[in-house]
């Protein structure tokens, strides 16, 4: 029997008493909430012969789909152009925005609200017998009450202020020859305040309240000058432009944290009130680029089109040896439908073929790749200069090696396209086929750990090819004497990428992030970037004889109910050498479908999006089905595991023996699922009031609409959302991503 008088919720002498929730707590429903959203936009524009202006003001307020979270944004933008006289034009564009995110809005990892809900036991209720938060304390199980965490972190905030704009002056030197100078800026600040308050009810409880503050300030300025010449010679039109641009970026950031506060009151918890674990950091980084460029376009009778461009870019991120790169491009088009021999072909109204080839550069490698940098840290470099071993002084250590020979990563793109319009251009189609070859890829090649703490520099040793196509087909027409208009459209895209080389070592590979000691993705020469990498599961061992007759798997793993991994290299032993590429996060194709129907004052439009043929690696499944830690399990673990007393035939098992074997959790095909889906992204119905009514209300136009977003998704994926947003080396890994919210919006559009 439990004595309620022993109940104590304070950290010192904590003794919680919690009644088991025999029905089971739905932790997802506990943290998910309906999220109102309101958005207001005001646009004012006007002007005359010599001046035009536009002002836009916006406000967005959105509650999060998890409780105690929200997002607000305020914005204002102004544009104005003035024709001062015949030869001088000036203008400006300035925008300012402020946003504030409130609460714990973490996403895509096990420490997010969704991650906590995945792992929390259903038998534990929201609150204990005294109405305080219930948790896993004393159960021996792991898990954190996700609603309690959301509540405790409701005062977390991330504020961002951004100002962006430019001013310009354009001078007409002579007719057809203009000089333009533009100076722009992009200024931003960010301030974050994050609290982790004590959670005594949980097994992994924080011993003290924690406060973390971070702040950053960035400034970019750019100055561009162009000289533009336009001339028409009969049927020939020439447009030539030359220019320069300079860009400078500076970013400064700092952060600090403390723990152990006398009170957890939000107003009391300031940095100087923290008594322990005093930490701070700060840094500044600067990067600059300079560019010279030129472009010439030629048009003959609008039938023959030619454009040639060239850029020469310099970046401070590279050393002196290869700071500059040159990137030319050329494109041409032929409008065949304008030729005389097409006059008798009435079916075809537009036919154009086009093609282009060009180079572009990439310098995204950090601002100081060309230089070796040093840092001071007494925990990594120290020496007792005065001979006293108890009083060491901090020294410098190499924190990053420089590479003065690194140069621009270069991508060449070849594109061939055709545009067709038939049946009076009611049916149109565009097809683009392209190939991109990236050479001198900037890659941080691994270095021996004996060199110390220094990070390796990026070196030019990788190459990758991408090929694909984009097809856009649409049909637009009218009926009922023009009162009914309708359109249908589809956009189909496909791409494939292939790593041609990573380094001068053929076996070199790029690995994705580690999720609790394992990585699910890898890329190496000859594969896509990335692919899923692991073991292939060929079923389960059904009995002792089956297990004994199979090649030994990681020592003594062969037991009835365990996975039967494939001996890929056929050497009679199952180990890491049998890992291989087991699936792709890249879709075989993506497609967008749009339709619009308008009848008199009514308009109905819809857009569908689909991805087909890609796989998803569910890291979440490892938590809730395989027992990586002693946390929550799905009902599948009970009813569909090999050996379950509720399973009539082990041949129908979908999960291995529930013994928590870490080898069963190794990345394998067991964690891959079909990620294909079809989603209704948006659907909108609108009604525009007659002019006779809107003008009586002193409005030029009044439209009422209702819009739905993400209303349904068709998919076989068992997770929250098949539209996985992770990219780069972790593409396709679902690590507790927030679900895409359904949204219904009612709105008014007023024109004065």
If you average pLDDT over every residue of the chain, what do you get? 93
pLDDT band at 567 (very low <50, low <70, confident <90, very high): very high
- pLDDT tens digits for 46-72? 998 899 999 999 999 999 999 999 999
pLDDT band at 632 (very low <50, low <70, confident <90, very high): confident
- pLDDT tens digits for 104-114? 998 878 889 99
Q: Phi first, then psi: what are they for 101, rounded to 5°?
A: -100, 135
pLDDT value at position 343?
84
Residue 716 neighbours by CB distance under 10 Å: 10
Average pLDDT over residues 235-259: 97
pLDDT value at position 443?
84
- pLDDT tens digits for 216-243? 999 999 999 999 999 999 999 999 999 9
| Gap between the Cα atoms of 624 and 445, Å rounded | 36
pLDDT value at position 193?
97
Q: Tell me what percent of the chain is helix, strand and coil, each rounded to the nearest 5.
A: 10, 50, 40
pLDDT band at 450 (very low <50, low <70, confident <90, very high): low
pLDDT band at 446 (very low <50, low <70, confident <90, very high): confident
Q: Please determine, for residue 406, whether its predicted confidence score (pLDDT) is greater than 80.
A: yes
| E strand map for 301-370 | 304-315, 324-335, 348-362
Q: Please determine, for residue 732, whether its predicted confidence score (pLDDT) is greater than 90.
A: yes
Q: Is 692 exposed, middle or buried (0-12, 13-18, 19+ CB in 10 A)?
A: exposed
By the 8 A CB rule, do 546 and 560 touch?
yes
Asked which of 71-85, 275-289, 499-513, 587-601 is least confident by mean pLDDT, the reply is: 499-513
- Burial code of 37-65, b = ≥16 C-beta within 10 A, e = fewer? eeeeeeeeeeeeeeeebeeeeeeeebbbb
pLDDT band at 633 (very low <50, low <70, confident <90, very high): confident
Q: Which two tokens stand for residue 454?
A: 């220094």
Q: Which two tokens stand for residue 42?
A: 């005001």
By the 8 A CB rule, do 634 and 625 touch?
yes
pLDDT band at 392 (very low <50, low <70, confident <90, very high): confident
pLDDT value at position 194?
96
Average pLDDT over residues 250-256: 97
pLDDT value at position 148?
96
pLDDT value at position 189?
98
Q: Please determine, for residue 448, whether its predicted confidence score (pLDDT) is greater than 80.
A: no
- Burial code of 246-272, b = ≥16 C-beta within 10 A, e = fewer? ebebebeeebbbbbebeeeeeeebeee
């Amino acid at each position: 029997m439990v004595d309620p008088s022993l109940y104590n919720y304070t950290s010192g002498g904590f003794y919680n008493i919690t009644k088991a929730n025999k029905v089971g707590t739905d932790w997802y429903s506990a943290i998910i909430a309906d999220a109102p959203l309101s958005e207001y936009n005001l646009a004012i524009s006007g002007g005359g012969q010599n001046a035009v202006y536009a002002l836009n003001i916006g406000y967005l307020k959105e509650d999060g789909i998890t409780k105690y979270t929200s997002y607000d944004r305020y914005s204002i933008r102004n544009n104005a152009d003035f024709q001062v006289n015949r030869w001088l034009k000036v203008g400006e564009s300035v925008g300012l925005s402020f946003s504030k995110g409130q609460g714990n809005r973490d996403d895509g990892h096990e420490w997010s609200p969704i991650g906590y809900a995945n792992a929390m036991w259903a038998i534990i209720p929201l609150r204990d017998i005294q109405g305080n938060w219930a948790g896993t304390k004393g159960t021996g199980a792991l898990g954190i009450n996700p609603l309690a965490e959301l509540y405790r972190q409701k005062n977390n905030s991330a504020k961002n202020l951004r100002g962006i704009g430019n001013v310009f002056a354009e001078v007409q030197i002579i007719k057809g020859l203009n000089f333009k100078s533009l100076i722009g800026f992009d200024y931003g600040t960010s301030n974050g305040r994050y609290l982790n308050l004590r959670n005594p009810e949980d097994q992994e409880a924080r011993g003290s309240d924690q406060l973390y503050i971070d702040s950053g300030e960035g400034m970019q300025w750019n100055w561009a000058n162009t000289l533009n010449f336009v001339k028409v010679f009969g049927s020939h039109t020439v447009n030539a432009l030359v220019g320069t641009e300079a860009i400078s970026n500076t970013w400064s950031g700092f952060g600090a944290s403390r723990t152990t506060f006398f009170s957890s009151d939000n107003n009391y918890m300031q940095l100087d009130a923290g008594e322990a674990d005093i930490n701070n950091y700060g840094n500044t980084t600067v990067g600059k680029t300079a560019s010279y460029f030129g472009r010439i376009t030629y048009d003959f009778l609008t039938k023959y089109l030619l454009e040639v461009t060239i850029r020469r870019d310099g970046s401070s991120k590279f050393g002196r040896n290869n700071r500059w790169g040159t990137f030319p491009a050329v494109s041409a088009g032929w409008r065949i439908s304008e030729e005389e021999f097409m006059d008798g072909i009435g079916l075809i109204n537009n036919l154009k073929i086009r093609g282009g080839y060009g180079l572009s550069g990439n310098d995204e490698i950090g601002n100081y790749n060309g230089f070796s940098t040093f840092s001071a840290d007494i925990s990594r470099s120290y020496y007792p200069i005065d001979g006293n071993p108890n009083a060491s002084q901090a020294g410098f250590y190499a924190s990053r090696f420089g590479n003065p020979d690194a140069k621009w990563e270069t991508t060449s793109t070849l594109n061939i396209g055709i545009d067709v319009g038939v049946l009076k251009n009611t049916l149109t189609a565009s097809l683009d086929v392209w190939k991109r070859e990236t050479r001198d890829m900037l890659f941080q090649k691994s270095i021996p750990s004996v060199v110390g703490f220094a990070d390796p520099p990026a070196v030019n040793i990788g190459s990758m090819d991408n090929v694909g196509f984009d097809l856009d087909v649409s049909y637009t027409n009218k009926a009922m004497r023009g009162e009914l208009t309708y359109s249908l459209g589809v956009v189909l895209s496909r791409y494939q990428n292939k790593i041609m080389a990573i380094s001068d070592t053929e076996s070199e590979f790029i690995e994705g992030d580690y999720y609790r000691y394992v990585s699910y993705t890898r890329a190496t020469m000859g594969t896509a970037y990335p692919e899923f990498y692991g073991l292939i599961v060929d079923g389960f061992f059904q009995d002792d004889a089956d297990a004994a007759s199979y090649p030994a798997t990681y020592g003594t793993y062969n037991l009835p109910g365990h996975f039967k991994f494939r001996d890929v290299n056929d050497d009679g032993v199952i180990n890491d050498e049998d890992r291989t590429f087991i699936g792709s996060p890249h879709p075989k194709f993506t497609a967008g479908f749009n339709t619009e129907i308008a009848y008199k004052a009514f308009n109905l439009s819809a857009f569908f999006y689909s991805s087909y043929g890609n796989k998803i690696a569910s890291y979440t499944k490892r938590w809730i089905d395989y027992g990586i830690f002693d946390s929550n399990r799905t009902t599948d673990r009970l009813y569909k595991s090999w050996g379950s007393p509720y399973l009539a035939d082990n041949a129908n098992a979908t999960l291995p023996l529930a013994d928590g074997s870490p080898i069963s959790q190794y990345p394998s095909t067991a964690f891959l699922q079909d990620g294909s889906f079809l989603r209704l992204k948006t659907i909108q119905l609108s009604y525009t009031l007659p002019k006779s009514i809107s003008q009586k209300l002193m409005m030029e136009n009044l439209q009422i609409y209702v819009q739905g977003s993400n209303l349904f998704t068709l998919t076989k994926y068992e997770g929250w959302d098949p539209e996985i947003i992770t990219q780069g080396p972790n593409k396709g890994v679902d690590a507790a991503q927030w679900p895409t919210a359904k949204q219904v919006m009612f709105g008014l559009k007023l024109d004065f």
